Amino acid sequence: MRLTTMIAVMLAGPAAGYEPLVEKQEFTLENFTTRGGEVIPEMRLGYETYGKLNEAGDNAILIPHYFSGNSHAAGKYSEDDAAPGYWDSIIGSGRPIDTDRYFVVSVDTPVNLGAHDPNVITTGPATINPETGKPWGMDFPILTIGDFVDTQLGLMEQLGIEKWHAVMGASMGGLQSYEWAARYPDRLERVIPVISSGWADADLIAWLDVWGSPIRLDPNWNGGDYYDGEAPEAGLAQALKIVTLHANSAEWTNGAFGRDWAEEGADPGEDWANDYKVVDVLNGAGAARASVSDANHFLYLVRANQQFVAGHPEGSLYQGLLDIDVPVMLIHTDEDLVFPGNAVRETGAIIKSDGTPVEFVELEGTRGHLDGVLGIAQAGERIRAFLEAE
């Protein structure tokens, strides 16, 4: 299967879904102040909406995105698009997140990976710093997941929404969901963190560092100062390869590729130029993705995720989780290498310990962490009921 086909199949939901064509919109926050106290003169970000905000303004659902994702959660930009947004299987008319009923808002984060993707609008190290007229590079403030949430708070105010009916996101989108519930418990009714846990533990911190490692070794990275020359695309491609592998499962790699060679007759035991198919496909996926992504943005995302503790409490991993008092649905899978099932269960146990209602939904599948994106439809009716509950 060709890579583009494979990616299309990976992302494809059922044919129907959110029917109207989707348009990327944008919003700007002037003098956005980070939680660390730094000021970003202009924070410009993209977002998409599906459905309509009702008059009471109480039917809005926020969908923050995962590490390598963006605000394209549902629908298509044009009839010809190979695939709709990543959670199209649960968002649309009649679907669990029913756009006849809810107004769905999906937002690009700052330092979004796809800085050079025409369908992403973000602000980060690749953006021109209005004060210098040059890209920020590594002088861009180090952000946190809390800062991402604060940009969404800004959008919320611009849209005139007082309270989200729900916040739901996968992986890094799940971290943003926890953060909303821990930090702004009055601004949402319920929360659905998917394939994510309440803080970045040492294991995740270390693996995130491994993800970013190839970028720092690419001589083109040059300490993050590369916007005048060649981008560190080779390092970024390898970084994205690691993410893809880590977010998948042995069941997938073994089932899809086995010990096949990249080219028939080209034995990897005979020549260094030959390789295995699984490596070749992962390299191809990484390279394709690298061409629209930014290496510094990748490193900023790594650091944002490493810093994550829900609610960012000083001195306690648990306080932010205990501050959550809206109903919680945790969707996870035990085959997840990035956010293992036991970390999610521990998170849920802490939230529940002071009486907050927590429901668990365990996904089945063969794709590991990615099942939270590819396999989300199996939780559809549970999500629908959770959203509809009084």
Residue ranges that bind a second copy, judged by CB under 8 A: 36, 138, 142, 144, 199-203, 205-207, 209-210, 213-214, 217-219, 234-235, 238, 241-242, 245, 249-250, 253-254, 256-259, 268-272, 275-279, 282, 303, 306-307, 309, 317, 337, 340, 343
Which residue lies nearer to a second copy by CB, 59 or 307? 307
Beta carbon nearer to a second copy, 213 or 378: 213
Active site residue 369: yes
Minimum distance, C-beta of residue 41 to a second copy, in the bound complex (Å): 20
The CA distance from 51 to 373, in Å, is 21
Cβ of residue 353: shortest distance to a second copy, in angstroms?
Answer: 20
Residue 207 CB, nearest distance to a second copy (Å)?
Answer: 7
Residue whose CB is less far from a second copy, 30 or 260: 260
Closer to a second copy by CB, 53 or 205: give it.
205
For 278, phi then psi, to 5°, come to: -60, -40
Q: Least distance to a second copy from the beta carbon of 134, Å?
A: 18
Distance CA(264)–CA(247), nearest Å, equals 28
- Which CB atom, from 27 or from 207, has the smaller least distance to a second copy? 207
Cβ atoms within 10 Å of 155's Cβ, excluding its own? 18
Residue type at position 136: W
**Catalytic one among 71, 171, 249, 293?**
171
Residue 116 falls in the annotated catalytic set: no
Q: What string of H, E and C letters represents the secondary structure of the chain?
A: CCHHHHHHHHHCCCCCCCCCCCCCEEEEEEEEECCCCCEEEEEEEEEEEECCCCCCCCCEEEEECCCCCCCCCCCCCCCCCCCCCCCCCCEECCCCEECCCCEEEEECCCCCCCCCCCCCCCCCCCCEECCCCEECHHHCCCCCHHHHHHHHHHHHHHHCCCCECEEEEECHHHHHHHHHHHHCHHHECCEEEECCCCECCHHHHHHHHHHHHHHHHCCCCHHHCCCCCCCCHHHHHHHHHHHHHHCCCHHHHHHHHCCCECCCCCCCCCCCCCCEHHHHHHHHHHHHHHCCCCHHHHHHHHHHHHCCECCCCCCCCCHHHHHCCCCEEEEECCCCCCCCHHHHHHHHHHHHCCCCCEEEEECCCCCHHHHHHHCHHHHHHHHHHHHHCC
Per annotation, catalytic residue among 117, 218, 336, 371: 336
Tell me the closest approach of the beta carbon of residue 33 to a second copy, in angstroms. Answer: 15
Instruction: Pick between residue 186 and residue 264 the one whose CB is nearest to a second copy.
Output: 264
End-to-end Cα separation, the chain, in angstroms: 46
336 is catalytic: yes
Whether residue 332 contacts residue 339, with contact meaning beta carbons closer than 8 Å, is answered with yes
Q: Which is nearer to a second copy, 309 or 363 (CB)?
A: 309
Shortest spacing between CB 241 and a second copy, in angstroms: 7
Q: How far apart are CA 46 and CA 32, in angstroms?
A: 15
Q: How far is the CB of 368 from a second copy (least distance, A)?
A: 10
- Residue placing its CB nearer to a second copy in the complex, 130 or 219: 219
Tell the smallest beta-carbon distance from residue 245 to a second copy (Å): 5
Active site residues: 171, 336, 369
